[in-house]
Amino acid sequence: MAKKVRTPEEASRDPAAVALLKRAAELEVETCFARADEIVPCPIGAEGLCCRNCAMGPCRLVGKTDRGVCGATIDTVVARNFARAVAVGAASHIDHARDLARTLLAAAEGKAPDYKIRDPYKLVEVAKDFGIKTDGREIGEIARDLALAALAEFGQIEGEVVYVRRAPQKRQQIWRQLGLVPRAYDWEVVDLLHRTHIGNDQDAEHLLHQSMRCALADGWGGSMLATDITDILFGTPAPVLSEANLGVLREDMVNVIIHGHEPTLSEMIVAAAQDPELIEYAKSKGAEGINLAGICCTANETLMREGVPLAGNFLQQELAILTGAVEAMVVDVQCIMEGLVPIADRFHTELITTSPKVRIAGATHIEFDEHRALEIAKEILRRAIDRFPERGETFIPDYRSPLVPGFSHEYIDYALGGYYRGSFRPLNDAIIAGRIRGVVADIGCNNPRICHDEYHYYVVSEFLKNDILVVQTGCGAIASAKKGFMTPEAALEIAGPGLREVCEAIGIPPVLHMGACVDNSRILTVLSQMATEGGLGEDIADIPAVGMATEWMSEKALAIATYCAASGAYVIMGGRNPVSGSETVIRLMTEGWEKKVGGKLEFIAEADEIVRKAIEHIDKKRADLGLPEYDPSKWGKSGDWRIQEVLDLPFEERIQAIYGKK
Ligand code: NFS
């Protein structure tokens, strides 16, 4: 069968990406889009049916072969492959959290002088969660105790991880009854990996059970801790105005892309870029200054707190270099394509790795050390500036959209009720009344096997039309940002009448950017607070909400999906189903998990089917709660819309509309 090579328009829905894919063809530069067309996925691995866990194999369980050499069944092999992916995904978030906790400790002990506690209020709140005494104590002392208590969570000898107590009571009971409460972050990952060794756990349900516990150590452990410490060190996000897409690169400035996941170095680069000496240095090389832009979750971190513009999501990392306008791309950990090296070689761009964990052959390595963070950040920027005179022809597609990100759960609480009356009551009330039909979290990656951003655009616009509030993180959030869904004005244009009223009243966009992928923990916190607030049941599983990663590709996405399901949510993953080789595993994750934990994980290939099933689930949850059936005709006659309508009336009718009499 001839391989299908997609046109740029078939490969991406983002006009900036389309323009650059055309440019790539002209320059004969290879990208992941072309490689995805070239490489046919292994059909056996794709279904989870290849076991390569020992040297008796690899065993390919296809055709008449339904057991591996050791006798492992299809169900065991498929569940074991899934479990390994969850373990790796969880490990990524957990290890990210460890680095942040170590940075907090170094900052508290005065060994990392460039870091300060920017949110002491949150420090105190989190310290209380950890049972640390806060009254009358110095901030530095509290921070040190918190860092040590947090670091102890990774390898705790026994007990439960602290953050499970943030979940609704009912959820905690379910986890305790089922033995699902994580004991220590690292423990659950090691336990799961251990089980997948040859000759260990050989019961699909049992493997999936520990997959949930391990994933919970991510969601209610590593990720939640990473979010909290990042807020403590760099500030809890609140709305800012910024821009998204490759058009944020500047012709007249030194462009530096920060890409990866960790905020520790990128925050220092943001600070260094404002250094007058470095700006002067850039000017001495013929540039107007230094322009920073982000890719992937580093982008989301610095966007949320500093307003640094988004250059793009996962599938735009190579395309950014293709503009010819990037002097340096600075990467840390996760989601960094090795394909960046050959592209950077074609241009003047320096690809700089910085994490002690990540080296890429062909890239420059400047190792990050939190003890002299700002100095390293300045060194990196100086190198970028030195490249500016080497810049050749550029091709920056002129596409960028405004956005208002920064919706931490603390800010949502504040926006809904004010400083003294912060509460989720208005949100719950809007759902109860039916103004908001339900909530969808559309998160996760891009995948070159799916037309770039297409699923994100489609599902988000469908949900908005149906009065469903959308919250987003990760690369899905960047997709919506580029599409213009993240401005309050978008509510007027796309949202259904009820959702529009709510957005107008509060002054928020209909799609809330809640941060990076570790910040999915913010979504867990919001759902827990909604459950606790009252009127929407008493558990996350009761809320009319659905989680999804429509263009997922990473193991982290599988870990997130699993902890959301284990927390009671219905989770839908788009595109490929990595457990399709076993009907038993599919059943266990859907019907089985639904019975066990109230949530389920389903893989659905088509976007319209995803929307249909999500809305069906939301309506079912509404009915279970005894809420009124969704009826959009009841709404849309208030707020700005109504004011304008009244102002447009002839005088007599206007008076009647306002005063109710002639
Ligand atoms: Ni999440 Fe963020 Fe993007 Fe996917 Fe990668 S950047 S952590 S894994 S690709 S959303």
Between CA 181 and CA 188 the distance in angstroms is 10
Q: Is the CB of 314 under 6 A from ligand 1?
A: yes
In the prediction, which pLDDT does 422 show?
A: 65
Domain boundaries 405-630, CATH class: alpha beta
Task: Copy the structure tokens of residue 311.
Answer: 């250059």
Q: Is the CB of 405 under 6 A from ligand 1?
A: no
Write down the mean pLDDT value for the chain.
95
Q: Is the CB of 475 under 6 A from ligand 1?
A: yes
CA 259–ligand 1 middle distance (angstroms): 11
CA 190–ligand 1 middle distance (angstroms): 23
In the prediction, which pLDDT does 543 show?
A: 97
Indicate where the chain has its CATH 1.20.1270.30 domain(s).
74-234
Between CA 107 and CA 101 the distance in angstroms is 10
pLDDT-above-70 percentage for the chain: 97
CA 260–ligand 1 middle distance (angstroms): 9
By CB neighbour count within 10 A (0-12 exposed, 13-18 middle, 19+ buried), where does 360 fall? middle
Produce one character per residue of 71-98: b if its CB has 16 or more CB atoms within 10 Å, e if not: ebbbbbbbbbbbbbbbbbbbbbbbbbbb
Would you say 272 and 375 are in contact if contact means Cβ atoms under 8 Å apart? no
CA 475–ligand 1 middle distance (angstroms): 6
Phi-psi region of 434 (alpha: psi -120 to 50; beta: other; left: phi over 0): left
- 341-363 pLDDT, tens digit each: 999 999 999 999 999 999 999 99
Between CA 453 and CA 460 the distance in angstroms is 11
Which CATH architecture describes the domain 245-390? 3-Layer(aba) Sandwich (3.40)
Atom number of ligand 1 nearest to Cα 297: 2
Task: Copy the structure tokens of residue 200.
Answer: 């260990």
Tell me the C-alpha to C-alpha distance, in Å, between residue 203 and each of 60, 83, 300, 313, 561: 19, 12, 39, 38, 21
Residue 644 has pLDDT above 80, yes or no: no
Split at pLDDT 50, 70, 90, the class of 157 is: very high
Mean pLDDT of 28-52: 97
Mean pLDDT of 169-191: 98
Atom number of ligand 1 nearest to Cα 473: 10
pTM of the model: 0.95
Q: Pairing mode, if any, of strands 545-549 and 511-513?
A: unpaired
Indicate where the chain has its CATH 3.40.50.2030 domain(s).
245-390, 405-630
Query: CATH fold of 74-234, please?
Result: Substrate Binding Domain Of Dnak; Chain:A; Domain 2 (1.20.1270)
Mean pLDDT of 202-211: 98
- 54-93 pLDDT, tens digit each: 999 999 999 999 999 999 999 999 999 999 999 999 999 9
Produce one character per residue of 407-418: b if its CB has 16 or more CB atoms within 10 Å, e if not: bbbbbbbbbbee
Between CA 458 and CA 466 the distance in angstroms is 12
- 227-268 pLDDT, tens digit each: 999 999 999 999 999 999 999 999 999 999 999 999 999 999
Between CA 374 and CA 353 the distance in angstroms is 16
Q: Is the CB of 474 under 6 A from ligand 1?
A: yes
- 409-441 pLDDT, tens digit each: 888 888 876 656 667 888 999 999 999 999 999
Mean pLDDT of 197-205: 98
CA 88–ligand 1 middle distance (angstroms): 14
In the prediction, which pLDDT does 659 show?
A: 72
Q: What residue owns the CA closest to ligand 1's atom 4?
A: 445
CA 94–ligand 1 middle distance (angstroms): 15
Q: Is the CB of 296 under 6 A from ligand 1?
A: yes
- 215-227 pLDDT, tens digit each: 999 999 999 999 9
